[in-house]
Structure 1
Amino acid sequence: MTKSVATVDARPFFEKAVRYGLAQGLLSQDNMSRMAAEAPKGIVQIADHFGTAYLRTDLESAATRMANLISLYLEDSANGDLRAAAISLRDNTLLSHSRGGSEMLKRLHAMPGETSLHSRKVDPLAQKLFVNERSFAFPISVASYREQVRQCQANQMRIDFARWLARQMNVKQDEYEDFSAEEVIRSAMLVLFIGGKALEMPSKSQFVELVGMLRKKTFKPRPAALDSFLRDAPEAFDELTRQAMQGFIDDVLPRLKSTEKSADEILHAEAQGAFFIREVAEEDVVAYDKIVAREWVRITKGNADDPAVLATIFLNVATGHPAKASALLKEAKAIIQSYRAQGFDSNAVLKFVDDFAPFEQREDLKAMWLQDLLPDAEVHLADNDPQMPDAFMERALRYFKQNCVGAWKGSSR
């Protein structure tokens, strides 16, 4: 049985091009002498750029860098053709080839490696570090370079597409620059899929309303809205919009229509900002809270920012009483009696927060209960200090009145 073994030529492309040129008579001894004279100058320049020309190690690494940069540029420009590469070495200087490789790396570094929409400026130090790494420690192959360029160009197209969508929906650059292209695209597709009269990016309350519309059995999408939107669109963006809409229908729509997650949870938890949300005036924030947490607003009587209201509600819930934002004297005494008889049910408070509070506030509310109110109330509502007996709850009621909403006046006895 005959076996064939493939031989991998791991030599730098620069070396392969020189050997090919000599063998084929494309490079003469004069050409080689010229390159031999040019090389030290280039090596010193590279050594000075990345270190110093006075250290042997820097000079040695500079020689390697120069060969890698020349190889990268030659193989890319000649498209792997050794004859074309040898002719390029014959007709152009080594320095022009190494600079060509360096410029290729600089261009790659300047391209977007992801799809965030912030303004990009080249950081000279970061660029130098990138060229430093990719020309010596981790030299990049032409195949890898081209693939990374392809990915970056795709990123740039997504960025340009998202910015175009934002402009069509009257969103300014400073409003979306902290978001990614995908977030803007998803929100635009949501708006276009529903097809309302006003095609604008949603605010928080509008996002919740749009998801609510999707979940109605009577909802029907309006494909004509997409066609109308794309009437004057550039051809490339027309195609990208239709692709994005199909991706939205296949991947995003089922999640939005599922009732397993509320719109509030999708917006702030599961998606982790996967939708662009337009910032609007304070009244929209109020509207949003009313939409996503109607029961929370009712229980807190619209005073969810008042620590005393929250403390009253939490102490009620922790002792098995109805969640109320204020307490009469007899209700405050009942809370204290329940605590002294059976302690606090901390899990009941945590579940109450999960069931009713707006998602983005839950962790802070839980921390308030567990770290502040719970340990403090356990001390001041207890009657286990023989030095400070509190049989008539006077001390506990004073604490309650100071930290909660106690709806009584005068004596607490």
Structure 2
Amino acid sequence: MAKVSVYLTLTCLLPLLCNSFSPENPKSQRILVLIDDFAIKYSHSLFFKSLQTRGYDLDFRLADDSKLALQRYGQYLYDGLIIFAPSVEKFGGSIDLATILDFVDSGHDLILAADVGASDLVRDIAAECGADFDEDPAAVVIDHSGYAVSATDGDHTLIAGDDFLQSDVILGSKKTEAPVLFRGIGHSLNPANSLVLKVLSASPCAYSANPKTKLSSPPSLIGSAISLVSVVQARNNARILVSGSLDMFSNRLFRSGVQKAGSSTKHEKSGNEQFVTEISKWVFHERGHLKAVNVKHQKVGETNEPAIYRITDDLEYSVEIYEWTGDDWKPYVADDVQVQFYMMSPYILKNLSNDGKGLYSTSFRVPDVYGVFQFKIAYQRLGYTSLSLSKQIPVRPFRHNEYERFITAAYPYYGSSFSMMAGFFIFSIVYLYNK
């Protein structure tokens, strides 16, 4: 009976696993949404609906649900995770800080939204991703020059942020014209973590403090060092979004008009919906995901890949690179892809030329050094998944019967040898027969 139960469970899980993240379909499909109140499901329904419209299967669960689990029988049940539970002190079921970090380390994606009074657990998750929230639990980001004009916001905690990261691949090619409304806590980036990037920064006049108390000491976070929204692309190409505002994803701010202080332009709709939608596309690999296929190398004029090269051989190297568009793969076009012919250090570094259809190629001569070499591509570009390709190939010296019979460069030595023999012969005759 137990075997039948396990079989039925695996049968139910198989369709989910088949539709999960894969090299041929890199978009996350099934996403777990952890919330601390089911009211969030309705107050943030526009954001969730945009995900569902794009084909995602959202599983809404309370963050303290005792039956929570990210994996079963060694297989992950979800491709992505959204944590909209800033006040949760402890996750239910088998989920904890280590489980979430393992989830990301295995290549899955994460969206984390904090808020005022965020729990230590949420702060620890963000800190592990390179984002350090203000230690004061009551602190919020205040901006007396870049706030959003509002009759109900006398503390200037509703910020109209427009200092975006300049990256079309992360934020989309269409520029966000209206400022993004943000109310929440700020964070700084860990300088030791080079993988985390500020996507939305505070203005130079902003600071982080408790708006209900007078400042007795300088704020710990000030100016453009405050990050409102940050992203991380891990070395395994997992993607993370850290936001200091849960309200930024809400229907109310999606639909709200915005006018930034000091500006006469009033936008009928904030940039929140466009900003959040575009950045979620990047987080869940609908954009900026690369793959490399058909890596080939051969001698010039040949089609078969050899098992070994000889020094000074002329060879050709080629690879095809494609970018995922959310629905299918299209050729990736760039002029900064390089290949290394590597042994301990690069002996040859060549730019690959592309034909505009995804094919990158080059040709070069094998150096006059024998040993075990590698063709290496280590491609990293802002917003794109990294490509790391390597292919090992040995290089041998000339065999004894492959050298030229007479080496041109050795003619002077040949001449000196024969002249020495001729001189000795003439000297011997003169010495023997001269009286």
Same fold by TM-score greater than 0.5: no
Which has a greater percent of strand? 2
Larger Rg: 1
Q: Relative contact order, CA 8 A, sep 6+: which one is greater?
A: 2
TM range (shorter): under 0.3
For normalisation by structure 1, the TM-score amounts to: 0.22
For normalisation by structure 2, the TM-score amounts to: 0.21
